Structure 1
Amino acid sequence: MVSDILLGFDFGTKSIGVAVGQKLTCTARALTTLKAKNGKPHWHQIAKLLKDWQPNYTVVGLPLNMDGTEQPLSKQVYTFANDLFTRFGITVKLQDERLSTIEARALLFKKGGYRALRKSKIDSQSAVIILQDWFEMNKFYINTSLIF
Structure 2
Amino acid sequence: MTRISALGLDVGRKRIGVAGCDGTGLIATGLETIERRSFAEDVARLRKLVEARRATVLVVGMPYKLDGEVGAQARQVQRFAERLGAALNLPVEYVDERLTSYAAEELIHAEGRSPSHNKALIDRKAAAIILQQWLDGRSPTQT
Q: What is the TM-score of this pair, normalised by structure 2?
A: 0.89
Aligned-partner Cα distance in 2 for 1:10–1:144? 27
**Contact 2:56 2:91 (8 Å CA) reproduced:** yes
Task: Indicate the residue corresponding to 1:83 in structure 2.
Answer: 83
Aligned-partner Cα distance in 1 for 2:41–2:124? 15
The range that moved more, 11-20 or 116-125, is 116-125
Could you tell me how far 1:27 is from its partner in structure 2?
0.9
Structure 1 runs (4+) greater than 4 angstroms displaced: 38-41
Task: Indicate the residue corresponding to 1:18 in structure 2.
Answer: 18
> What's the C-alpha RMSD, in Å, of the aligned pairs?
2.1
Q: Deviations over 1:11-63 (max 9, x none)?
A: 00100000001362421001000011488862210111111111121100000
1:55 matched to 2:52? The reply is no
Secondary structure, counterpart of 1:59 in structure 2:
strand
Which amino acid is the alignment partner of residue 126 of structure 1?
A: A
**Contact 2:100 2:129 (8 Å CA) reproduced:** yes
The 1:78–1:144 alpha-carbon spacing in structure 2 relative to 1, beyond 3 Å, is same
Secondary structure, counterpart of 1:58 in structure 2:
strand
Aligned-partner Cα distance in 1 for 2:38–2:45? 16
Secondary structure, counterpart of 1:90 in structure 2:
coil
Task: Indicate the residue corresponding to 1:136 in structure 2.
Answer: 136
**Contact 1:14 1:39 (8 Å CA) reproduced:** no
Aligned-partner Cα distance in 1 for 2:33–2:9? 9
The range that moved more, 49-58 or 114-123, is 114-123
**Contact 2:115 2:122 (8 Å CA) reproduced:** no
Which residues of structure 2 form unaligned runs of 5+? none
Which amino acid is the alignment partner of residue 144 of structure 1?
A: T
The 1:53–1:38 alpha-carbon spacing in structure 2 relative to 1, beyond 3 Å, is closer
Which residues of structure 1 form unaligned runs of 5+? none
Which amino acid is the alignment partner of residue 86 of structure 1?
A: A
Identical counterparts, % of pairs: 30
Secondary structure, counterpart of 2:64 in structure 1:
coil
Bigger relative contact order, structure 1 or 2 (CA pairs below 8 A, ≥6 apart): 2
Which amino acid is the alignment partner of residue 112 of structure 2?
A: G
The 1:120–1:40 alpha-carbon spacing in structure 2 relative to 1, beyond 3 Å, is farther
